[in-house]
Amino acid sequence: QSALTQPASVSGSPGQSITISCTGTSSDVGSYNLVSWYQQHPGKAPKVMIYEDNKRPSGVSNRFSGSKSGNTASLTISGLQAEDEADYYCCSYTDSSTFDVVFGGGTRLTVL
């Protein structure tokens, strides 16, 4: 299964909004409402920020939101803060006869 496609890097200034895209296929992103997004700071474990396309776990700031159109999912971070600087990965369940999930290659967010 091929990895989902994310931009290698995005940047924004404090207070601004940014969007990270995640492009898959009709066999993964486009087939299920099961896209999730993970934030990872250097040397730390990933943390789920969005699951099932647009649901936010308890404790995650409402500045983080998820959406999807066709085979492309998006993570939007509004009101950028310095602590948002991290790597972000999308993930999707795939259309498999068994079980499979696929990650995107990751996007480095820089807060200028």
54 vs 35: CA distance, rounded Å = 8
Contact 69, 82 (CB under 8 A): no
Q: Distances in Å between the alpha carbon of 101 and those of 18, 23, 28, 94?
A: 26, 14, 8, 6
Please identify, using beta-carbon distances, which residue of 80 and 89 lies nearer to other proteins. 89
The amino acid at residue 101 is V
38 sits near other proteins (criterion: CB under 8 A): yes
Is residue 88 within the footprint of other proteins (CB under 8 A)? no
Residue 63 binds other proteins, judged by CB under 8 A: no
98 contributes a contact to other proteins by CB under 8 A = yes
Q: Which of 22, 102, 109, 111 binds other proteins (CB under 8 A)?
A: 102
Q: Is 18 in the site for other proteins (CB under 8 A)?
A: no
**Which of 36, 39, 71, 74 is in the footprint of other proteins by CB under 8 A?**
36
Query: How close are the terminal C-alpha atoms of the chain, in Å?
Result: 35
Smallest CA-to-CA distance from 92 within 34, 44, 19 is with 34
Site residues (CB under 8 A) for other proteins, limited to 43-62: 44-48, 51-52, 57
- In the structure encoding, which two tokens stand for residue 82, read together? 């310095």
Enumerate binding residues for other proteins (CB under 8 A).
1, 3, 32, 34, 36, 38, 40, 44-48, 51-52, 57, 89, 91, 93, 98-106
